[in-house]
Chains A and B, each alone.
Chain A
């Protein structure tokens, strides 16, 4: 079998697996979030936390709970890293320095998992396991909770209540993330991912030729599974999913991609069930699938034809890829990780062909909506659907409606504000870095590729992705601080706008469909949303892309 056929089958099998899982998992999540019964463990947790699980929260209360939980998460994680040398299983690591601890804390709480540190030389086992991995669970559950609140906004009528954040958080973690992550982790161990509490210092071996090698260890499998499932992406080791102890075989590579895509796609089904029109969910899934397939196919093609000087000299875009994965499967992973908000990597994007590398950036610049991060992808796509309905309404001169809700001035303002946050952060951040010596000092490559490195960093942080053109030296006070701010604002400001939008939708009654209502479940609408997404991104980012990857890739 040729590499191309194998690559196409690899992608095809992934699509098939998603088609098969999307419905049962989506239905299950619908039952989780709309059920009224609490399990005994959950009731016990609510008592410990001190919240009343049946109290419906207004959007402002819901948003405050999200923010409070996240602020506490940042403080806790910051303190944990600063004190790690006094705790168990620190492996003798020093406290993480303040700017890096801030950056890492924000990074994991915002579901970004940008890493300016190298796991094997910075973090002890306890910080990884009970600090970073915990945020992998709960930051994902927060994203899902916000998406569910927006779904309720569309589904409910004449109410202030969007549900209860604490209930959504606990159910998402206990009933959805934990069981799937557990199964995933056991499968990964079967593939060779390590799961131990070994101190690497006790694990130095004499190699075949008589040299010495220190084998790393740690609770990797448990962290790896939730890293993918929660679209987090923070590697246990510096090399992330390229590391053989994180991703040992070609089939674990496939499994990790499936875990990444599983929940973001299935949530469209949950959405369809929530609004009691499954076909609306299929339409959203179709937009996501369309954008994703085009992007993945382009990335694979650009990597396969390996345009550019070094790839031509090599005869393949093989630099930074693992032999067991090959160029094509690595390209699929690169597209999947940037189309979602994951940011895990199984090959290094900095060494990709100029245009292949640009695809990974474009994927993030799309706003990570195809299918996006867990929860964040769905609410991002629904905001784009709202904008599309509005644009279509302008064309025919009617008050736009979506799912029986009028899209009035307040709704479209919130949707527009949501959309503007990310470009503002990316462009202002890249501009500031290019204008200051601190920003320019970090570049590894020179010329347009150096700008690409910086653009990639701010794109990744502002979109809460976490992958990198890793040549850039980001462990400096300037980058740790600036990127930390981008991650925090890029995550929480949009969340506040989404919840405000949800509140405003829930207050409305139901507007019955009329002849003038734009059907939002037909291919026409799917094409329009995809078109609006691409046009908005192209208009916003073409100039800066022309200075970076396009300048490098087009001779």
Chain B
């Protein structure tokens, strides 16, 4: 029986797909797998595992971990990782970024029946304040209130031709839930109110207020931002230096010993120019547990 050409074409397509599946989908990955069993590659192909002092496997040097207690508070004897959006934090079964945009500055305040969602700005401000408090430095940042939320006004009133509001009827500090004291008393002569949870402020003009904080804050950028994967095992050397005195105090050892461990776990740029210098938090904490004040 002769089949029409267009069916024969499809049969060739089916057979071609099956043959190429055998080559690219079975033979190729198994060949890579075989080479990956060679000494030197084997442990990497298996996930670059690291072990704790007792010899048990304690994770991978490539996958970050949380160093917090059950309530999510930092454990002072450990260096802290970056903020994470992977599940509840550093959950490798749910790698994820925040995906919040650069102008995500207005919080959804929790109210009866409404689950709150802090804006990216408030997340940054809150982390900065928390890290500053933990390490004993100022957590102040531009566009942040002293109580660690976004310094953002919602201004109501007629808009001028350029889109601004010259004579506001009402001004609300959008991220400061009542009964908080607004970060500024007045805006263009109008008293600033705190935000009532549940109220819809969408009609107001969003005005972030920079404030007087230095443009290079004491708390480094990587300490207040989440990574893309949510599994970043590294922090910047600056963030490691900031944490070293607190870790040394908690372990009762001189800060030099801790800084030495930081240096052991620091990786420079590959070939001197690729990426950024980083400190591996997982390995650093393991090294400290192995011999510094434990």
Show the binding face of A for B, using Cβ within 8 Å.
1, 3, 5-6, 9-10, 13, 45, 48-51, 64-65, 68-69, 71-73, 76, 118, 120-121, 129-131, 133-134, 137-138, 166, 169-170, 173-174, 178, 181-182, 185-186, 189-198, 200, 203, 205-209, 211, 213-217, 219, 221-223, 225-226, 237-239, 242-245, 248-251, 253-254, 308-326, 329-330, 345-348, 350-354, 357, 444-447, 449, 452, 469-471, 552
Cβ-closest chain B residue relative to A80: B21
Bound complex: CA of A321 vs CA of B221, how far in Å?
A: 11
Cβ-closest chain A residue relative to B20: A138
- What are 24 A-to-B residue pairs whose CB atoms are below 8 Å? A50-B12, A64-B6, A129-B29, A130-B26, A134-B17, A174-B23, A191-B44, A194-B46, A208-B58, A208-B285, A213-B59, A222-B29, A222-B32, A244-B64, A245-B47, A251-B274, A254-B274, A309-B102, A310-B102, A314-B141, A314-B221, A314-B224, A319-B124, A323-B227
Tell me which of B86-94, B130-138, B245-253 binds A.
B86-94
Of B45, B78, B228, the contact of A242 (CB 8 Å cutoff) = B228
Bound complex: CA of A284 vs CA of B41, how far in Å?
A: 40
Interface residue? B172 (CB, 8 A): no
A65 → chain B closest CB, angstroms: 6
Q: Which residues of B contact A71 (CB under 8 A)?
A: 10, 13
Contact yes or no, B58 A309, CB < 8 A: no
A-B Cβ contacts below 8 A, count: 386
A11 → chain B closest CB, angstroms: 10
B40 → chain A closest CB, angstroms: 8
Q: Which residues of A contact B28 (CB under 8 A)?
A: 178, 181-182, 222
Q: Which residues of A contact B235 (CB under 8 A)?
A: 323
A303 → chain B closest CB, angstroms: 11
Q: Which residues of B contact A352 (CB under 8 A)?
A: 102
Contact yes or no, B92 A213, CB < 8 A: yes
Q: Which residues of A contact B66 (CB under 8 A)?
A: 207, 209, 211
Q: Which residues of B contact A308 (CB under 8 A)?
A: 102-103
Contact yes or no, A186 B225, CB < 8 A: no
Q: Which residues of B contact A138 (CB under 8 A)?
A: 17, 20, 24
Interface residue? B210 (CB, 8 A): yes
Contact yes or no, A322 B229, CB < 8 A: yes
Q: Which residues of B contact A320 (CB under 8 A)?
A: 97-99, 225-228
Residues B66-110 near A (CB distance < 8 A): 66-69, 75, 78, 82, 86, 90-105
Bound complex: CA of A243 vs CA of B221, how far in Å?
A: 20
B134 → chain A closest CB, angstroms: 16
Bound complex: CA of A303 vs CA of B105, how far in Å?
A: 19
Bound complex: CA of A223 vs CA of B30, how far in Å?
A: 11
Tell me which of B181-189, B190-198, B255-263, B264-272 binds A.
B264-272
Show the binding face of B for A, using Cβ within 8 Å.
6, 8-17, 19-21, 23-26, 28-29, 31-33, 35-36, 40-41, 44-49, 52, 56-60, 62-69, 75, 78, 82, 86, 90-105, 120-121, 124-125, 141-144, 202, 208, 210, 215-217, 220-222, 224-236, 267, 269-276, 278, 282, 285-286, 289
Which are the 4 A-B pairs with shortest beta-carbon distances?
Answer: A250-B275, A242-B228, A130-B25, A326-B276
A310 → chain B closest CB, angstroms: 5
Contact yes or no, B221 A13, CB < 8 A: no
Of B67, B68, B222, B285, the contact of A318 (CB 8 Å cutoff) = B222
Of A1, A217, A243, A444, the contact of B99 (CB 8 Å cutoff) = A444
Bound complex: CA of A552 vs CA of B31, how far in Å?
A: 49
Q: Which residues of B contact A214 (CB under 8 A)?
A: 91-93
Could you list 20 further interchain pairs (A-B, Cβ under 8 angstroms) beyond the known A213-B91, A239-B97, A251-B274?
A49-B16, A121-B94, A166-B12, A193-B44, A205-B58, A207-B66, A213-B63, A222-B32, A243-B231, A250-B274, A251-B271, A308-B102, A310-B104, A310-B105, A320-B227, A322-B228, A324-B267, A351-B102, A445-B100, A445-B101
Contact yes or no, B124 A313, CB < 8 A: yes
Contact yes or no, B15 A49, CB < 8 A: yes
Bound complex: CA of A323 vs CA of B279, how far in Å?
A: 9
Given A68-B13, A351-B97: A314 in contact with B236 (beta carbons within 8 A): no
Of B44, B57, B141, B222, the contact of A313 (CB 8 Å cutoff) = B141
Given A133-B29, A310-B124, A313-B143: A242 in contact with B97 (beta carbons within 8 A): yes
Of B65, B95, B105, the contact of A239 (CB 8 Å cutoff) = B95
Given A313-B144, A322-B232: A134 in contact with B25 (beta carbons within 8 A): yes
Q: Which residues of A contact B104 (CB under 8 A)?
A: 310, 445, 449
Contact yes or no, B45 A205, CB < 8 A: no
Most B CB atoms within 10 A — which of A6, A166, A330? Answer: A6
Q: Which residues of B contact A449 (CB under 8 A)?
A: 101, 103-104
Q: Which residues of B contact A319 (CB under 8 A)?
A: 97-98, 100, 102, 120, 124, 225-226
Bound complex: CA of A55 vs CA of B225, how far in Å?
A: 59
Most A CB atoms within 10 A — which of B8, B58, B69? Answer: B58
Bound complex: CA of A169 vs CA of B13, how far in Å?
A: 11
Contact yes or no, B93 A120, CB < 8 A: yes
Cβ-closest chain A residue relative to B215: A315
B153 → chain A closest CB, angstroms: 12
Bound complex: CA of A236 vs CA of B217, how far in Å?
A: 37
Contact yes or no, A206 B46, CB < 8 A: no
Bound complex: CA of A76 vs CA of B67, how far in Å?
A: 45
Given A182-B32, A221-B36: A239 in contact with B229 (beta carbons within 8 A): yes
Bound complex: CA of A345 vs CA of B229, how far in Å?
A: 10
Bound complex: CA of A129 vs CA of B22, how far in Å?
A: 11
Contact yes or no, A194 B45, CB < 8 A: yes
Cβ-closest chain B residue relative to A352: B102
Contact yes or no, B274 A552, CB < 8 A: no
Of B63, B101, B143, the contact of A350 (CB 8 Å cutoff) = B101
B252 → chain A closest CB, angstroms: 19
Contact yes or no, A206 B25, CB < 8 A: no
B35 → chain A closest CB, angstroms: 5
Bound complex: CA of A137 vs CA of B93, how far in Å?
A: 27
Given A185-B32, A222-B32: A312 in contact with B143 (beta carbons within 8 A): yes
Contact yes or no, B273 A10, CB < 8 A: yes
Q: Which residues of A contact B121 (CB under 8 A)?
A: 309-310, 313
Of A178, A190, A314, the contact of B124 (CB 8 Å cutoff) = A314
Contact yes or no, B17 A309, CB < 8 A: no
Cβ-closest chain A residue relative to B230: A239
Bound complex: CA of A238 vs CA of B97, how far in Å?
A: 9
Most A CB atoms within 10 A — which of B48, B99, B286? Answer: B99
Bound complex: CA of A353 vs CA of B10, how far in Å?
A: 47
Cβ-closest chain B residue relative to A214: B93
Bound complex: CA of A225 vs CA of B271, how far in Å?
A: 22
Bound complex: CA of A350 vs CA of B220, how far in Å?
A: 22
Contact yes or no, A251 B120, CB < 8 A: no
A78 → chain B closest CB, angstroms: 13
Most B CB atoms within 10 A — which of A217, A350, A357? Answer: A350
Q: Which residues of A contact B86 (CB under 8 A)?
A: 239
Q: Which residues of B contact A250 (CB under 8 A)?
A: 269-270, 274-276
A146 → chain B closest CB, angstroms: 16
Contact yes or no, B225 A346, CB < 8 A: no
Cβ-closest chain B residue relative to A316: B221
Given A310-B105, A323-B227, A348-B99: A120 in contact with B94 (beta carbons within 8 A): yes
Bound complex: CA of A222 vs CA of B82, how far in Å?
A: 30
Bound complex: CA of A51 vs CA of B16, how far in Å?
A: 10
